[in-house]
A and B are shown apart, each in its own frame.
Chain A
Amino acid sequence: MIRLEKRAQPSQFWTFATPFLAVIMTMIVGGIMFAALGSDPFEAIRTIFWDPLFSEQFAAYSRPQLLVKAGPLILIAIGLSLGFKAGIWNIGAEGQYIIGAICGAGMGLAFYPSESFVIFPLMILAGALGGWAWAMIPAVLKVRFGTNEILVSLMLVYVAENLLASVSSGLLKNPDGMGFPGSRNLQQYPAAANLEIFQSTGMHWGVLSAFIAVIFAYALLSRHMFGFQIRLAGEAPRAARFAGVRPSRIVFLCLGIAGALAGMAGMFEVAGPAGQITIDFNSGYGFTAIIVAFLGRLHPIGILFAGLLMALTYIGGELASLMLGIPSAAIQLFQGMLLFFLLATDVFINFRIRFSKREVV
């Protein structure tokens, strides 16, 4: 008989080991799934995890893509993790990302065709403010009326998507675009473009911001009173109040930071890799970042690695569907498994497994 026995203390070992265990279990079960779909599981796993980085044929293209994809994921996940630690469930980062992109692009396009150097910094600011404002809607409603931030932030994603569709064929439509929906391409507008800092590394300003966010979040959580208060609010709300934490302040700050970072991520994306506002500009970074945040144990350094890993499965997944014809739904399932196994193995942190024979009465 297998029993779970509660540990006196959370296990340090398993806190670090579960992400690795989850990745291995995902590979095994995912491999079985790929085999069932008629592909060679070993080849599929290799295509996803190995080829993007080391195959001679693809690495030159896909290695920079790793940072391009990981950047926004990490930036958004860092913001989300602060809220998740405090028990504030912002599920609407995707919406904040879209609004940040619209505001950032709008700011840049408003100056077109000026070549002033202040344009790019102003766009960053506009993107952050846009995402912040969008996140303030669930924050205000929660503090003022006690609404559920999960529902409100999630629903606002769909509102944001409709706004995106509207501006890409209206307000921000390219006047020289011959009637096609979509804004001007910001990559062809040097003052507003989010260019690579080092050539063909994928390292653009958004990736740099993500790394800076990791460092800031780490310092905040481990060394600063506000980070301590966030953890208090999440772990024991009454004790937090006893320690002088005002719950509404935590709600505003956590949602605000998450919104601002998601907005910045959107802005960097639209000014860089995406280049323009289009109807289908958003590609789910805001939702995937939730997985990244948890995969990284809500820890800044963990999120850094989780973001890179998740980006790898994205690129490798695309490669796998291209080369091996694995349907993209199967790739998504594969990514979902990662979160599933991570949550399942989490139980080892607080419990130990005991195998015992059923005693004869």
Chain B
Amino acid sequence: MTQPLLRLTGLTKAYPGVVANSDVSFNINAGEVHALLGENGAGKSTLVKMIYGLVKPDTGSMALNDAPFAPPAPSAARQSGVAMVFQHFSLFEALNVAENIALGMENAPKQRDLAAKIKEVSHQYGLPLDPYMRVGDLSAGERQRVEIIRCLLQNPKLLIMDEPTSVLTPQEVEILFKTLRQLKSEGTAILYISHKLEEIRSLCDTATILRLGKKVATCTPADTSAKELAEMMVGETLHVPERAAGDFGDVLLNVQNLSLPAPSEFGTALKDVNFEVRAGEILGIGGVAGNGQDELLGALSGEVSSKNAVGLRGRDISKLGPQQRRALGVLAAPEERLGHAAVPDMSLTENALLSAAVRKDMMRSGFLHWGKAKDYAQEVIEAFDVRTPGPANAARSLSGGNLQKFVIGREVLQDPDVLIVNQPTWGVDAAAAAAIRQSLMDLAAKGAALIVISQDLDELMEISDHFAALNEGRLSAIRPVQGLSVEEIGLMMGGVHSGVEGAA
């Protein structure tokens, strides 16, 4: 293999105020799994968008099989054999698998033929999928398979995968890796974007590391330790959180027999959830996305009221709304940053007011104190190193990681007694994730009770004292984190979703 499949030469792309990529050059060979590593804002997304034809480079060139390659649109990229699986799926929940796949095709065959083709491909690559299942009924892992099979039907030469494992159970990750290795053996090149260093070390042949838009190095991950990789990526030594093992205090939050109907056709019903959290304790709740995480957060934050199910220091608060719970010290940070935790088109000052009005005294008999809101936004920006020109900027102008720091910081700095967070470090780079985790642990050390809902098991293992998993709205037994193995966790997470092979 002397001639690379895709050659990138001096790619540069600047946006107003920021250079996303600066003179990036590397090669991807056929049959190679090539990792693209970097912090948030390092320019990974922009780079793959250029390859996929979504963004045009300012300077620099690409060559596919030695022929100049400059796709004006994703359809052109697909025709040249470049396919991409996005981190956020573009699927219609109300349509079935085959219909969804047909929608993305230029000349879609008949349903029946397509279904047969889907079955064949899914079998061939060990990705079991029923073409007639409604996408709304599928787990996140299964939805990802739909996206992968959509790509595979085009016989791609290069498959780009953007953080594919962030929504998968350990078992599903194994299945995915088997598929990727099979594709590799057939000569397909894979460009694999991830934050998870161990994953990259076990799967990828080559890794290119980006930092602040520039290529730092291309190396062989198998010969490089995770620590070295992380250091190249971050440019500074990783801050590994530590916490002193302490005794827990009184029970702050207790939940008993919490059952709630599904909020919508595609939501999950909560079924008889029971747990309690003590002062100083972090309860980690794992589980595959869509198993009741959002619903649980809503019931705890007060967005959804329940009946005699949620208690704070023995007092029933299940009928109270979010503002009343905040006044009592129960705070929450939802998973969806834009549109739930923050309003995209509003400034950071306004977004600070969103959840901090009560506790930070920004309101006098209904009238708002904007000065205090602005000061508080500034305080969060400084304390959590949120990179933005200032509190007057709109939430949507921040990168995902920076907005996440703002959202978490906004809650943490209000000194809550109980804090519930969902996916605190989703899509956040390693340095920022470590800072967020450390702030959560500091909060617990000060005597707050924390509930951390996350799909990142490493994260939960690192910071929680106790662990439980959500599966189809049910909460597993709560176990101390010490001594838990990944296999046990996998079993706690249930894994009984249709089609996951190898699960008990």
Residues on A close to B: CB < 8 A?
8-10, 223-226, 228, 231-232, 235-236, 238-239, 241-244, 246, 359, 361
Given contacts A225-B368, A239-B343, 5 further A-B contacts (CB under 8 A): A8-B16, A231-B346, A238-B336, A242-B332, A361-B68
Hey, which chain A residues are within 8 Å of B346, CB to CB? 231, 235
Q: If the complex has contacts A239-B354, A242-B355, are A232 and B397 also in contact, measured as CB distance less than 8 A? A: no
Please tell me if B72 contacts chain A, counting CB pairs below 8 Å: yes
Q: Considering the chains assembled together, what is the distance between the CA atoms of A215 and B396 in angstroms?
A: 31
Asked if A239 and B342 sit within 8 Å, CB to CB, the answer is yes
Q: If the complex has contacts A9-B394, A9-B397, A244-B302, are A238 and B355 also in contact, measured as CB distance less than 8 A? A: no
Asked if A9 and B393 sit within 8 Å, CB to CB, the answer is yes
Contact pick for B72, options A8, A226, A361, CB 8 Å: A361
Asked if A225 and B357 sit within 8 Å, CB to CB, the answer is yes
Distance (whole angstroms) from the CB of B324 to the closest CB of chain A: 8
A/B interface sample: 9 pairs, CB < 8 A: A8-B17, A223-B367, A224-B368, A235-B343, A236-B343, A242-B340, A242-B354, A244-B323, A361-B68
Q: If the complex has contacts A9-B397, A223-B367, A224-B368, are A238 and B340 also in contact, measured as CB distance less than 8 A? A: yes
Distance (whole angstroms) from the CB of B317 to the closest CB of chain A: 13
Distance (whole angstroms) from the CB of B231 to the closest CB of chain A: 31
Hey, which chain B residues are within 8 Å of A361, CB to CB? 68, 70, 72
Hey, which chain B residues are within 8 Å of A243, CB to CB? 322-323, 354-355, 357
Distance (whole angstroms) from the CB of A24 to the closest CB of chain B: 27
Hey, which chain A residues are within 8 Å of B332, CB to CB? 242
Asked if B357 and A236 sit within 8 Å, CB to CB, the answer is no
Asked if B323 and A223 sit within 8 Å, CB to CB, the answer is no
Which B residues from 380 to 395 make CB contacts under 8 A with A? 393-394
* Chain A to chain B: the 9 pairs with minimum beta-carbon distance, closest first: A244-B323, A244-B322, A8-B397, A236-B343, A238-B340, A236-B339, A243-B354, A241-B303, A239-B343
B353's nearest neighbour on chain A, judged by CB, is A228
Asked if B394 and A242 sit within 8 Å, CB to CB, the answer is no
Please tell me if B479 contacts chain A, counting CB pairs below 8 Å: no
Q: Considering the chains assembled together, what is the distance between the CA atoms of A231 and B56 in angstroms?
A: 36
Asked if B368 and A242 sit within 8 Å, CB to CB, the answer is no
Distance (whole angstroms) from the CB of B301 to the closest CB of chain A: 7
Contact pick for A223, options B70, B343, B368, CB 8 Å: B368
Q: Considering the chains assembled together, what is the distance between the CA atoms of A246 and B357 in angstroms?
A: 16
Q: Considering the chains assembled together, what is the distance between the CA atoms of A223 and B371 in angstroms?
A: 11
Asked if B366 and A225 sit within 8 Å, CB to CB, the answer is yes
Hey, which chain B residues are within 8 Å of A225, CB to CB? 357, 363, 366-368
Q: Considering the chains assembled together, what is the distance between the CA atoms of A28 and B316 in angstroms?
A: 65
Asked if A224 and B323 sit within 8 Å, CB to CB, the answer is no
Q: Considering the chains assembled together, what is the distance between the CA atoms of A220 and B340 in angstroms?
A: 24
Q: Considering the chains assembled together, what is the distance between the CA atoms of A16 and B393 in angstroms?
A: 18
Contact with A along B56-88 (1 / 0, CB 8 A): 100000000000101010000000000000000
Distance (whole angstroms) from the CB of A283 to the closest CB of chain B: 36
Q: How many A-B residue pairs have CB under 8 A?
A: 78
Asked if B340 and A226 sit within 8 Å, CB to CB, the answer is no
Please tell me if B334 contacts chain A, counting CB pairs below 8 Å: yes
Which B residues from 335 to 355 make CB contacts under 8 A with A? 336, 338-346, 350, 353-355
Hey, which chain A residues are within 8 Å of B370, CB to CB? 223
Asked if B366 and A236 sit within 8 Å, CB to CB, the answer is no
Asked if A359 and B367 sit within 8 Å, CB to CB, the answer is no
Hey, which chain A residues are within 8 Å of B355, CB to CB? 242-243
Please tell me if B321 contacts chain A, counting CB pairs below 8 Å: yes
Asked if B323 and A232 sit within 8 Å, CB to CB, the answer is no
Asked if A242 and B303 sit within 8 Å, CB to CB, the answer is yes
Contact with A along B101-127 (1 / 0, CB 8 A): 000000000000000000000000000
Asked if A246 and B368 sit within 8 Å, CB to CB, the answer is no
Hey, which chain B residues are within 8 Å of A226, CB to CB? 366
Q: Considering the chains assembled together, what is the distance between the CA atoms of A9 and B394 in angstroms?
A: 6
Hey, which chain B residues are within 8 Å of A10, CB to CB? 345, 394
Asked if B341 and A239 sit within 8 Å, CB to CB, the answer is yes
Q: Considering the chains assembled together, what is the distance between the CA atoms of A224 and B344 in angstroms?
A: 21
Hey, which chain B residues are within 8 Å of A359, CB to CB? 56, 70, 72
Asked if A224 and B367 sit within 8 Å, CB to CB, the answer is yes
Hey, which chain B residues are within 8 Å of A242, CB to CB? 301, 303, 322, 332, 334, 340-341, 354-355
Q: Considering the chains assembled together, what is the distance between the CA atoms of A223 and B341 in angstroms?
A: 22
Q: Considering the chains assembled together, what is the distance between the CA atoms of A238 and B368 in angstroms?
A: 21
Hey, which chain A residues are within 8 Å of B323, CB to CB? 243-244
Distance (whole angstroms) from the CB of A251 to the closest CB of chain B: 16
Q: Considering the chains assembled together, what is the distance between the CA atoms of A321 and B70 in angstroms?
A: 59
Hey, which chain B residues are within 8 Å of A228, CB to CB? 350, 353, 368
Q: Considering the chains assembled together, what is the distance between the CA atoms of A236 and B338 in angstroms?
A: 9
Contact pick for A244, options B321, B338, B342, B345, CB 8 Å: B321
Distance (whole angstroms) from the CB of B338 to the closest CB of chain A: 8
Q: Considering the chains assembled together, what is the distance between the CA atoms of A228 and B334 in angstroms?
A: 20
Q: Considering the chains assembled together, what is the distance between the CA atoms of A223 and B410 in angstroms?
A: 21
Distance (whole angstroms) from the CB of A355 to the closest CB of chain B: 14
Hey, which chain A residues are within 8 Å of B353, CB to CB? 228
Hey, which chain A residues are within 8 Å of B342, CB to CB? 236, 239
Q: Considering the chains assembled together, what is the distance between the CA atoms of A224 and B364 in angstroms?
A: 9
Distance (whole angstroms) from the CB of B491 to the closest CB of chain A: 33
A243's nearest neighbour on chain B, judged by CB, is B354
Hey, which chain A residues are within 8 Å of B17, CB to CB? 8
Q: Considering the chains assembled together, what is the distance between the CA atoms of A242 and B299 in angstroms?
A: 11
Asked if A236 and B393 sit within 8 Å, CB to CB, the answer is no
Distance (whole angstroms) from the CB of A297 to the closest CB of chain B: 14
Hey, which chain A residues are within 8 Å of B350, CB to CB? 228
Distance (whole angstroms) from the CB of B452 to the closest CB of chain A: 18
Asked if B70 and A236 sit within 8 Å, CB to CB, the answer is no
B347's nearest neighbour on chain A, judged by CB, is A9
Distance (whole angstroms) from the CB of B10 to the closest CB of chain A: 17
Hey, which chain A residues are within 8 Å of B340, CB to CB? 236, 238-239, 242
